[in-house]
Amino acid sequence: MEMIGILALQGDFQAHASALARLDLPSRFVRRPTDLTAVSALIMPGGESTTFLKLLESEGLWEPIRRFGETHPVMGTCAGAILMADRVENPSQPSLGLIRMTVRRNAFGRHLSSSIRHAEAPKELNVGRKPGPPLEVVLIRAPIVTEVGPDVEVLASLDGQPILVRQGHFLAATFHPELTADTRIHRYFERIVSKQESKEEPATGK
């Protein structure tokens, strides 16, 4: 079973570990570059994106995570999604450039205007043939995706704005699925990880 890493420099990394545990999926906290060698994928949690930038630089994780993403699945929520973008506004700041999208920080409001909304769940999250319940969308100083590239698939939207997007083996949510009891997004990411792992398995011949 694939080991999923969780960036644990700040933010709600423990909530992601709990969500994965509810799915019986193993996880490991990532705090230094060498930790990446023991995981098959990485989750970058919510938190404060400018603080993340400082910690990624001070811990020497910026370039290792960028290189890791070239061959491994990465999922980001809220601040993690901001870090995955190739362009950040309000204000402009460096990012990893993993997903072809423009993100505007704090576009859903500051902490005091945080809220819980609901959005239609994409069919990709369904288990079986029946459609699942709406997504519980926890917005805490949430960003907005204002533009996506042609290779980016918008899986879910709220008020006409993308809130869950995928590009290849990258998945980004502008909200906090880890703060709800709904584990469908984490299960979907695990399926992305499993598919990526199967691609990398060497072919065997007789």
- Does the annotation count 176 as an active-site position? yes
Per the residue annotation, which of 72, 169, 176, 186 is the catalytic one?
Answer: 176
Which residues lie below 8 Å from residue 46, measured CB to CB, with a gap of 6+?
11, 12, 77, 78, 79, 80, 140, 176, 178
SS3 135: strand
- Does the annotation count 78 as an active-site position? yes
Per the residue annotation, which of 78, 169, 186, 190 is the catalytic one?
Answer: 78
Beta bridge partners of 167: 170
Per the residue annotation, which of 16, 178, 186, 190 is the catalytic one?
Answer: 178
User: What are residue 102's phi and psi, to 5 degrees?
Assistant: -105, 130
d(CA 26, CA 186): 12
SS3 188: helix
Residues identified as active-site: 78, 176, 178
